[in-house]
């Protein structure tokens, strides 16, 4: 695809839908059950309006942020996403290369199909996200492996005790592990560019992909059940295990999937370095509160903690709203996968550049030359008079 023709993330989404078999596109694009949480994530951004400031010198603008002692070029990051190799050839590496080139964080998913050591060679400062069981005999060797690869930031996802019901995937013949259903096979055959450029290229050059990073050992191939069961033990995970990990992990430690302020407070008390405010992109509990709606209370409760957000980000204005409500950075999932499907590394880079360009323009139009100056004073609840917002809502926020 000619990336110059994609003027927005929505354009990349349409390109991904054309390129991918329906089952794989449905996996990327969809959510769980009735997909109410997916819609809520997007609707939450529309619930806020900007209060721009005119006659501010915005000739020079800055969107760099510092996370865990490192300066990044934009308040953006790429969230962990499983089996990215289904969207593009060596998808994990493509995501990592694009993120490194853009100088933004990249979080490698445990459900990835490229060994984390190989991804770390491409982006040595990558972060690793784990789906961890309440089994120290499994977690301990994984921590050693991740540390040996040079990873400094560990993200533990805590909102997936068991797999959710994703009916749209089942209707399209898609599942993880992959089952070669007639619908899935036909979807591949009817999309020859994907079949040749991603599927066959992967099989010929790399062989059948395996789950490489759930544990310290290589997992099973993606078309069969994983060795043991990578979900086993997650339902028993508690804060006690997080405390156990904190004692043994000497890098930065975050939990992902926090929607309650009291959980962020507990994470802070245990010595964690940050939290991801997230409902898993609407892919787990359907009907969960939108990440952006949960953000202000969490940010207010833990002012000393790094608060990150993912879920529903599609525009630079979405990023600015998240930062104004207390996030240090906003992470993207689906937009990066759309770019990967549309154009590999170049497509992911284009998704990041689109958002960074929008952030730059939006900062100027908002009258805020530096993202570090963003705050609730730039926002008003949709449908409310600006003066009313300023008195009743805005002043009560941190």
C-beta separation of 160 from 257 below 8 A? yes
Strand-strand pairing, 274-277 and 70-72: unpaired
Beta strands in 188-261 (DSSP E): 252-258
183 is in an annotated binding site: no
334 is in an annotated binding site: yes
80 is in an annotated binding site: yes
105 is in an annotated binding site: no
385 is in an annotated binding site: no
263 is in an annotated binding site: no
C-alpha span between 359 and 315 (Å, rounded)? 8
283 is in an annotated binding site: yes
278 is in an annotated binding site: yes
C-beta separation of 105 from 74 below 8 A? no
27 is in an annotated binding site: yes
Residues labelled as active-site residues: 280
136 is in an annotated binding site: no
230 is in an annotated binding site: no
C-alpha span between 379 and 282 (Å, rounded)? 25
313 is in an annotated binding site: yes
Of all helices (H) and strands (E), which one includes residue 310? strand 306-310
Q: How far is CA 332 from CA 4, 336, 384, in A?
A: 21, 7, 29
What are the tokens at 202?
């992967």
C-alpha span between 150 and 163 (Å, rounded)? 30
37 is in an annotated binding site: no
293 is in an annotated binding site: no
C-alpha span between 192 and 292 (Å, rounded)? 39
348 is in an annotated binding site: no
CB under 8 Å to 186, separation ≥6 — which residues? none
CB under 8 Å to 352, separation ≥6 — which residues? 74, 76, 78, 98, 99, 102, 104, 336, 339
Among 25, 75, 44, CA closest to 355: 75
312 is in an annotated binding site: yes
- Which residues participate in the annotated binding site for FMN? 80-82, 109, 129, 157, 256, 278, 310-314, 333-334
- Which residues participate in the annotated binding site for glyoxylate? 27, 131, 166, 280, 283
- Which residues participate in the annotated binding site? 27, 80-82, 109, 129, 131, 157, 166, 256, 278, 280, 283, 310-314, 333-334
């Amino acid at each position: 695809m000619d990336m110059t023709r994609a003027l927005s993330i929505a354009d990349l989404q349409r390109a991904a839908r054309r390129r991918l078999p329906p089952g794989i596109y449905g996996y990327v694009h969809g959510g769980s059950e009735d997909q109410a949480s997916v819609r809520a994530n997007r609707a939450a951004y529309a619930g806020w309006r900007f209060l721009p400031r005119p006659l501010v010198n915005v000739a020079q603008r800055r969107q760099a942020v510092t996370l865990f002692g490192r300066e990044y070029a934009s308040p953006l990051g790429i969230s962990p996403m499983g089996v990215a190799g289904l969207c593009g050839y060596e998808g994990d590496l493509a995501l990592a290369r694009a993120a490194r080139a853009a100088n933004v964080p990249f979080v490698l998913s445990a459900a990835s199909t490229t060994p984390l050591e190989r991804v770390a060679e491409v982006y040595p400062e990558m972060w690793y996200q784990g789906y961890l069981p309440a089994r120290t005999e499994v977690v301990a060797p994984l921590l050693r492996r991740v540390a040996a690869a040079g990873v400094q930031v560990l993200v533990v996802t805590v909102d997936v005790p068991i797999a959710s019901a994703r009916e749209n995937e089942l209707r399209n013949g898609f599942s993880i592990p992959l089952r070669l259903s007639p619908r899935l096979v036909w979807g591949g055959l009817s999309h020859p560019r994907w079949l040749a450029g991603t599927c066959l290229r992967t099989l010929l050059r790399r062989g059948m992909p395996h789950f490489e990073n759930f544990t310290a050992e290589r997992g099973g191939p993606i078309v069969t059940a994983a060795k043991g069961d990578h979900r086993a033990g997650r339902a028993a995970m508690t804060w006690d295990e997080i405390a156990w990990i904190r004692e043994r992990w000497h890098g930065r430690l975050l939990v992902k999937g926090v929607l309650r302020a009291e959980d962020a407070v507990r994470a802070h008390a245990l010595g964690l370095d940050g939290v991801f405010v997230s409902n898993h992109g609407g892919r787990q509990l359907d009907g969960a509160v939108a990440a952006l709606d949960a953000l202000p209370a969490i940010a207010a409760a833990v002012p000393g903690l790094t608060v990150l957000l993912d879920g529903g980000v599609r525009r630079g204005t979405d990023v600015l709203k998240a930062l104004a409500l207390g996030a240090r950075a906003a992470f993207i999932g689906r937009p990066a996968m759309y770019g990967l499907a549309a154009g590999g590394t170049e497509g992911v880079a284009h998704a990041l550049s689109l958002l960074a360009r929008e952030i730059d323009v939006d900062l100027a139009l908002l009258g805020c030359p530096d993202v570090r100056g963003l705050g609730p004073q730039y926002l008003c609840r949709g449908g409310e008079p600006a003066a009313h917002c300023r008195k009743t809502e805005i002043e009560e926020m941190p």
